[in-house]
Amino acid sequence: MIPLQLSLKNFLSYRQAQLDFRELHAACVCGANGAGKSSLLEAIAWALWGEGRTSVDETIYAGADEARVDFMFTCDRQTYRVSRARRRNKDSQLEFQIQLESGRFRSLTAKIMKETQSRINQTLHLDYDTFINSAYLRQGHADEFMLQGAAKRKEVLGKLL
């Protein structure tokens, strides 16, 4: 997966932010403690899997009613867009799209969110647990993989292969 664009609205510490990764070969996210560096990675994970370090309603910026994250990425030479939104004390909304040769996007969203999530996982060849135990070490959870039992570690490594 190669990130292309990330757009956040009322997500964790961000009222509104847009990042464009398309011209970058590599990126380094740096800043002072509490500046929101981890929130950017949490936004990607939340958009893709609807999970993160906090409860779903806690992802919504204080004083706002809804959080939304749009994430565009390439995987296996295809461009995709995932949009996830959550209104406080309501169900989340999830959209999954693929970019056509014309540049327009076609929906891959299923009627049931669980099926849409399964399509995202299949596209990425990755689920949330594998992601946080391999590609992304969440803040304060760097030892999480090592603390798991041998069977769970073997399962995660098996998914990577």
pLDDT digits (tens, 9 = 90+) for 1-57: 999 999 999 999 999 999 999 999 888 888 888 888 889 999 999 999 998 877 778
Range of the domain at 100: 2-125
Do both 54 and 112 map to the same domain? yes
Number of structural domains in the chain: 2
Indicate which CATH number applies to the domain containing 79: 3.40.50.300
Contact 79, 72 (CB under 8 A): yes
Check whether 152 has a pLDDT greater than 80: no
Do both 51 and 81 map to the same domain? yes
- What DSSP assignment string belongs to 48-100? HHS--SS-GGGGBPTT-SEEEEEEEEEETTEEEEEEEEEETTS-EEEEEEEE-
Predicted pLDDT of residue 133: 74
Do both 117 and 133 map to the same domain? no
Do both 139 and 65 map to the same domain? no
Do both 110 and 44 map to the same domain? yes
CA dist 144 and 91 (Å) reads 29
Q: What is the pLDDT of residues 74-120, one digit of tens each?
A: 999 999 999 999 999 888 999 999 999 999 999 999 999 999 999 99
Q: Tell me the whole-structure pTM to 2 decimals.
A: 0.83
Most confident of 107-116, 126-135, 145-154: 107-116
Do both 70 and 15 map to the same domain? yes
CA dist 155 and 133 (Å) reads 11
Do both 73 and 8 map to the same domain? yes
Identity of residue 152? K
Do both 159 and 120 map to the same domain? no
Check whether 58 has a pLDDT greater than 90: no
Do both 105 and 120 map to the same domain? yes
Check whether 161 has a pLDDT greater than 60: no
CA dist 112 and 115 (Å) reads 5
Would you tell me how many other CB atoms lie within 10 Å of the CB of residue 73? 21
Do both 50 and 121 map to the same domain? yes
